A and B are shown apart, each in its own frame.
Chain A
Amino acid sequence: MNMKYNPFQFPSLSLAAMVAIMAIVVMTLVAELNGGFKGVLADLTGHHWVSKGLLALGIFLVTWLVSALGLKGEPQKTRAWTLATVGVSLLGIVVIFLFYSVIF
């Protein structure tokens, strides 16, 4: 296998964005349902929201750089990666909004 490492390609960035967004949604829901987890997040930086943001940024960077080892920048698949990212984003928005509406 002779594949040059190239992190500057859409599939890796798209996957990293999706994983980061999913992580934000999961951290948000779990923190509201489990006070212990919210406390751990708050202890990390002093505020649970700051920790969620920094963790999401870290997850994005790690997923991006690691997935670039295996994924290739195939232009014909850009549309599929785009639609997946849009779908995950919209789903994340709906889940967060409905969650807070239901627990109110």
Chain B
Amino acid sequence: MDIVLRGLHVALGELSLLFIIWALVEVAWGPLGRGVLRAKIASLTGTILIFAHWLVSGWYYVAYYGPEVKPIIKAGPWPWAHAIFMESKEHIFLFLPFLALLLLFLIWKHGDKLREERGLRFSIFAVGGVTLFVFVLMITAGFLISSGYRIAVP
């Protein structure tokens, strides 16, 4: 079961990131008509995937990471991979659903103004930029944490 959850954790994270990027690319074009619809669908899908990711990753974290992976990393040569990066990752991740909801709202509520209102596009890129930054932190921390595990297991 843990391998399924770990796979879903990575897949949902990457898919949600892709959909958020897709939404921002659509907004960057100053969309009309079908472009607005695509931006809305991409932001909605990205947000739903982030919430699904929260559920699946939380399950994996509580059921498997805490009891099985964490003690190995902490006893290994890279204990900071858990103490700094996992602890930061699990808490900073909690920002993502709220940032995604803001992005979703801006795109859905003001979809008809995406082309002409530069101020609106600024807000979408600012919120979207922080969202992407959090994703980059998650990926980087994930790489260090899994490396901390691999290096601890001969």
A: residues with CB less than 8 A from B are 8, 10, 13-14, 16-17, 20-21, 24-25, 28, 46-47, 49-50, 52-53, 56-57, 60, 75, 78-79, 82-83, 85-86, 89-90, 92-93, 96-97, 100-101, 104
Contact = CB atoms under 8 A, between A and B. Distances in A.
Main SS class of interface, B:
helix
A5 B4 CA distance: 45
Contacts of B66: 47
A56 B93 CA distance: 12
B43 to A, nearest CB: 14
B84 A100 contact: yes
24 contacts: A10-B123, A13-B102, A13-B105, A16-B98, A47-B66, A49-B61, A49-B62, A52-B91, A53-B54, A56-B94, A56-B98, A57-B97, A78-B119, A78-B120, A79-B122, A82-B122, A89-B95, A93-B95, A93-B133, A96-B88, A97-B88, A97-B92, A100-B83, A104-B84
A92 B106 contact: no
B130 interface: yes
Interface of B: 54, 58, 61-62, 66, 80, 83-84, 87-88, 90-92, 94-95, 97-99, 101-102, 105-106, 109, 119-120, 122-123, 126-127, 129-130, 133-134, 137
A100 B102 contact: no
B98 A60 contact: yes
A25 B94 CA distance: 10
A17 B94 contact: no
A50 B62 contact: yes
Given A49-B61, A52-B91, A89-B130, 12 more contacts: A10-B105, A14-B102, A17-B101, A21-B98, A25-B91, A49-B91, A78-B123, A85-B102, A86-B127, A92-B92, A100-B84, A100-B87
A78 B95 CA distance: 20
Nearest to A76: B119
Nearest to A31: B91
A35 B28 CA distance: 47
Contacts of B126: 82-83, 86
A6 to B, nearest CB: 11
B95 A86 contact: no
A10 B106 contact: yes
Contacts of B84: 97, 100-101, 104
